[in-house]
Structure 1
Amino acid sequence: MHYKHWKKVIGWVAILSLGGCVDPYRPPEIAAPNNYLVVDGFLNSKPGTTTSIRLSRTQNLSEKNTSVAETRAVVTVETEGRATYAFRETGGGVYTLTDLVPQANQKYRLRIKTAKGVEYLSDFTTVVTTPVIDSVSWRPTSNGLQIYVNTHDPKNNTRYYRWEFDETWEFFTPYNATLELKDKQVITRAENTYRCWSGESSKSIMVGSTARLSQDVVSLFPLTTIPADSWKLSSRYSILVRQYALSRDAYAFWEQLAKMTQNIGSLFDPQPFLLTGNMHCITNPSEPVLGYFSVGSVETRRIYVKRYQLPNWTINTGYSFCRLDTAKTLKDLIEMNFQPVSELEGGGGYLASDNYCVDCRLRGTNKKPAFWDE
């Protein structure tokens, strides 16, 4: 869960029209110093995995800064049998734990004590096992590339699901420069700046339920649509999908949060203070806490889509302005503020272009991801 969702939940503005005049309505929540604790908490039950808990503070709509990390807190997980496991702070409000494999016959809860001595506690929650992802599929549509997820539980026990994903795409600059201008000298380019990768994570809350179906089958659940002209599709695209099984209460929380983050902006929409999770402030019971602590397994599936597998869409690569020019001397190259691509035949100068057109690192990284299979 990304903290951007929570920022939307706290801040909202509505405009009321009365007697022909338009006056802004500003509820107290906008100006009040409501920096509530946000708990992004999921305890992974798969052996060998690291659990990360992210703590931050909300900001009101009138504040322009992003959410503030909650640091120097003491974070622990407790079992009903009173065993306690401590998280380690790794920076930026993130706390990790690697030496715990939750057991199906146990219940767990999260305890947080901030540097100011305020204490928070979740309800006890059981371990929920997530069924495997059957497939992640895709098809071209009139709007672009549509990605789907498919799964099922043959025991009909799951019924409630949530998904997240990470996107990664490969891209190339228009020109593969073998030279570079450095300290007013043309030298051999030290590393590849032609092929790079970029990426981003899902921002929407995606939940689904099969509770009203006779079979616990999720078929062609739409995860995301990539526009047909997106630079993500210029070469090779990959998506890693994460699937979580939810309890009924957890599903109700995530569904409500999804509606709020998608519909906030009107007095007639669901209001933030109606949101309830399973986290509570035990120091001050009237203080809201945003978040839901769950325990369970995560299933993942990655796919790749290559450019040649798609229709002949016109891709907006962001490089349409790029052009090659000639610089006859080093002085010309410096005055043009261009980067050399290669030497002209016979050594009479350089082919050159804007740095943006030859250095893909300005839009991504030239370090190939470990999972990339080519």
Structure 2
Amino acid sequence: MSKKRFIAYYKLAPLFMAMLFYACIEPFQATFVDFESALVIEATITNELKTQQVVLTRSYEFDAEGPPGEQGARVMVVGGGNTYNFIEEANGVYLSDQEFAAQDGVEYKLQVVTSDGNSYGSDNMQLTATTSFDELSAERITTDLGEDGMAILVDSFDPTGNSVYYRYEFEETYRIIAPTWSPVSLIGDPENIFSCNVFKVPNETDERVCYATALSNTIILNSTNELDEDRVSNFMVRFISRNNYIISHRYSILVRQYVMSNESYTFFETLNELSGSESLFSENQPGFLQGNVFSEDNEEERVLGYFDVATVSEKRIFFNFDDFFPGEDLPPYVDPCNTSAPVLFNPGGCVLRPIIESGTGIYVSDNEPPGPNEGPYFITARVCGDCKVLGPPEIPEFWTE
């Protein structure tokens, strides 16, 4: 059985992605420009009573390390006679100074004033239709390419037919068990920093069981526009290969379903088309993807991004590897965990102690008797014996067994 999905890479920040394609719903107007630094606005205000978020960055060239955050801006969302101020929490991330939820029938507008005094705004946006998805499920499938793995599937239905356009995000959390964790660890001679000797001590620093969390980094879109009814059935928001270590033990995923407007769906669908173009990987681009944000001072200035107001619903599920792969070998760990037995020293100086103290190697077991050119202990990569490399040891508050 196979499922099809529609996924676009989520890359609003790079201006090298900002070029024109005509979407199937409504077209965008193009201009032709060279690369330049432009403000990038990413904001979705929802009907949840929570601290809302606006992210401001700058576009960057392909060979740059990443999008620089826009710091020191004044950010506000205005709607229903209220003004909600946002405070910079981190580099380019702004959080509302109070919890609020978008209300039906109210128009909301984003306002931004950057540290250099330039003003930016958005079109007025209203909350979309409210649709909670009915079911979130996990199913073992084989893809069209013959890959075995787990599909995360969504079902929802809007009897009014007013939702139509959907976007999904997910947050996955999984248990990690370090395969070579030992209750013993090695330390350098604490009484002689120049000695090459190491000693075994009780392991009080390395963790065997941890929990890692990862966020979706793609745009996942779905539309029922061409169907007889507004029903989402077995839509795959995530596929996890059977050989992915994240499902080796216990896995959880939280899926959020956003109901989008026609305009916001068109924007992100066009962004999806852009992400598949080979010509994106160059500094000079032939066009610009226009969203609903703009400069209030200079109509010629290019601003990238979208301010959205959307209803959202969410569900979480858990499953264990044995639930779907009973009696089968676990997926390969993130590291092969090969072992070695370095000597304590050689004519060039200490060998094992610097490896241990730098954290690049970790004790596995004794090597008895050592072979030629071997030391007394087997070691391996730290990630194999200390799961903190991949995630914290604290059990998440939502976790259930």
Q: TM over 0.5: same fold?
A: yes
Tell me the secondary structure at the aligned position of residue 109 of structure 2: strand
Residue matched to 2:347: none
Evaluate the alpha carbon distance shift between residue 318 and residue 101 of structure 1 in structure 2; reply closer, same or farther with a 3 A threshold. closer
Match of 1:6 among 12, 15, 19: 12
Q: Is the 8 A contact 1:7 1:60 kept in 2?
A: no
| Bigger shift: residues 285-294 or 176-185 | 176-185
Structure-2 separation of matches of 1:157 and 1:182: 64
1:54-73 to 2 correspondence within 5 Å? 54-61=55-62, 63-73=63-73
Change beyond 3 A, Cα 1:245–1:116 = same
CA contact (8 A) 1:241 1:300 kept: yes
Question: What is aligned with 1:363?
Answer: 390
What residue is the counterpart of 1:373 in the other structure? 400
How far residue 8 of structure 1 moved from its aligned partner, in angstroms, is 5.0
Aligned partners of 2:18 and 2:289 also within 8 Å:
no
Could you tell me which amino acid in structure 2 is paired with residue 301 of structure 1?
Answer: K
Q: How has the CA–CA distance of structure 1 residues 302 and 192 changed in structure 2, closer, same or farther, with 3 Å as cutoff?
A: farther
Q: Give, in angstroms, the shift of residue 334 of structure 1.
A: 4.3
Any unmatched runs of 5+ in structure 1? Answer: 14-26
Shift of the 85–272 alpha-carbon distance from structure 1 to 2, 3 Å rule, reads farther
Does structure 1 conserve the Cα–Cα contact (< 8 Å) formed by 2:367 and 2:378? no
| Greater mean alpha carbon deviation, residues 4-13 or residues 117-126 | 4-13
Whether contact under 8 Å (2:207, 2:387) holds in the other structure is yes
What one-letter code is carried by the residue in structure 2 that aligns with 1:207? L
Structure 2 distance, partners of 1:282, 1:336, is 57
1:104 paired with 2:118, answer: no
Q: Look up the equivalent residue of 1:159 and give its one-letter code.
A: V
Higher mean displacement: 245-254 or 146-155:
146-155
SS of the counterpart of 1:6?
coil
The residue identity in structure 1 corresponding to 2:333 is: T
Q: Deviations over 1:51-88 (max 9, x none)?
A: 01110001022x3220000010000111264x322111
Aligned pair in 2 of structure 1 residues 153, 77: CA closer, same or farther (>3 Å)?
Answer: same
> Structure 2 CA distance, aligned partners of 1:66 and 1:313?
38
2:44 alignment partner in structure 1: 42
Cα deviation for residue 325 of structure 1 reads 7.0
How far apart are 1:254 and its partner, in Å? 1.2
The residue correspondences of 1:344-359 to structure 2 (distance < 5 A) are 352-356=378-382, 357-359=384-386
C-alpha distance 264-165 of structure 1, shift in aligned 2 (>3 A): farther
**Which amino acid in 2 is paired with 1:362?**
V
Q: Is 1:214 matched up with 2:228?
A: yes
Structure 2 CA distance for partners of 1:59 and 1:326, relative to 1, 3 Å: closer
Residue 175 of structure 1 and its aligned partner are, at CA, apart by 2.5
Compute the displacement of 1:164 (Å).
0.9
Q: Select 2:166's aligned residue among 144, 161, 177.
A: 161
CA deviation after TM superposition for structure 1 residue 181, in Å: 2.2
What's the RMSD between the two structures over aligned residues? 3.2
- Check whether the contact 1:128–1:246 (CA below 8 A) recurs between aligned residues: yes
Q: Per the alignment, in what secondary structure is the counterpart of residue 66 of structure 2?
A: coil
Which has the bigger relative contact order, CA under 8 A and spacing at least 6? Answer: 2
Secondary structure of the equivalent of 2:11? helix
Distance 1:350 1:105 in 2: 73
The 3 A distance-change label for structure 1 pair 195 and 283 is same
SS at match of 1:177: coil
Question: For each residue in 1:89-139, what CA deviation from the matched residue of structure 2 results, as whole angstroms up to 9, or x when unmatched?
Answer: 112111111243332131110000000111110011111244112122222
Q: State the Cα distance separating 1:320 from its structure 2 match.
A: 3.2
Give, in angstroms, the shift of residue 165 of structure 1: 0.9
Alignment-derived partner of residue 304 in structure 1: 318
- Whole-angstrom CA distance in 2 between matches of 1:350 and 1:236: 36
> For 1:1-150, what aligned pairs fall within 5 Å after superposition?
5-7=11-13, 10=16, 29=34, 32=35, 34-47=36-49, 49-61=50-62, 63-79=63-79, 81=81, 83-97=82-96, 98-142=98-142, 143=147, 144-150=149-155
Question: Structure 1 pair 352/366, CA: closer, same or farther in 2 (3 Å)?
Answer: farther
1:174 partner letter: P
CA distance in 2, matches of 1:266, 1:58: 13
Call closer, same or farther: CA 1:225–1:291 in 2, change over 3 Å: same
Query: Aligned AA for 1:40?
Result: E
Partner of 1:201: 215
Q: 2:182 corresponds to which residue? A: 177
> Does the 8 A contact of 2:341 with 2:367 survive in 1?
no
